[in-house]
Structure 1
């Protein structure tokens, strides 16, 4: 398989400091659109393909939205209260665009390839040697949701995975981390 077509197993961003670095880098080097894409991705757990299909009319002025996921066809409720102000300030700059993440060329949203390029550009600026992929946003959401609530069944449901093991592997919770947690577990 050629280097260009290798499938990269991306990981979640496990450091809050690196998440803040990425936010800074996206704002400085890429722009508000790409920053908001990252922010919405890590706070919603939606796939990048679903994020790119969001229309302004579906989300503007709302703290809770219901969107249909492309891969599963299932409806998903997204709570935006924690990023509402930033999201709506950004929407105010879109000058009537139909799409939440409009391309600078034409009337369409940006592509997955363009989203990937922008995310990697920002990652390179903050010394993330492995870079990141479009799934990094969803995996980061899953990782931090699990770290905060420790409810794998709930997260499995949110991410629409068939089994808890799929979810644990997806968010990068390894046997080593589970073992480490169990060593310090005491009631």
Structure 2
């Protein structure tokens, strides 16, 4: 399994949104949805229009079996409203071109993310990058690792800290301050 990183730079996130938007509304929405919900890719791909029309998205996580309620933030709400305008309630948010009303598969989601990684020369990027990006930026805005742990459904703060790349950021910062002997 490859270790992936969050996208730390907000300007890069905006560039990736524009990149996807110029090519495919579906791919842009997948990225925006992922970085605004922190959902695992297997949970994202099963989402239908009817699941995102309320104030909260409610789902049972495939990995944990836990029920998760997530409020739809204003940015995501605006994006979803525009994106879903012509969808039926039973339509998947991220439809495949293969078959009638089927979602894309995990490998296609990876290819989509990999396309952006190649375009922007990013390393350690995959489908989990969206989830990690959500966690990283939520922590940057709140400085509340317990909240981020709960949002990601992790067992401990230490796991969450490592998962969102904060331990690496802290080590890099310490090495820069250290400067050498």
- The verdict on a shared fold, with TM-score over 0.5 as the criterion, is yes
Can you give the 5+ residue segments of structure 2 that lack an aligned partner in the other structure?
none
CA contact (8 A) 1:53 1:99 kept: yes
Can you give the 5+ residue segments of structure 1 that lack an aligned partner in the other structure?
1-6
Matched, 1:81 2:73: yes
> Aligned equivalents of 1:145 and 1:65: distance in 2?
18
Residue of structure 2 in register with 1:63 after alignment: 55
CA contact (8 A) 1:142 1:155 kept: yes
> Aligned equivalents of 2:70 and 2:78: distance in 1?
15
Q: Moved runs in structure 1, 4+ residues, more than 4 A?
A: 178-181
Scaled by the length of structure 2, the TM-score of the pair is 0.87
Range moving further from structure 2, 93-102 or 65-74: 93-102
Structure 2 matches for 1:153-172, cutoff 5 A?
Answer: 153-172=146-165
Q: How many residues align?
A: 173
RMSD: 2.0
* SS across alignment from 2:155: coil
Scaled by the length of structure 1, the TM-score of the pair is 0.85
> Aligned equivalents of 1:125 and 1:176: distance in 2?
24
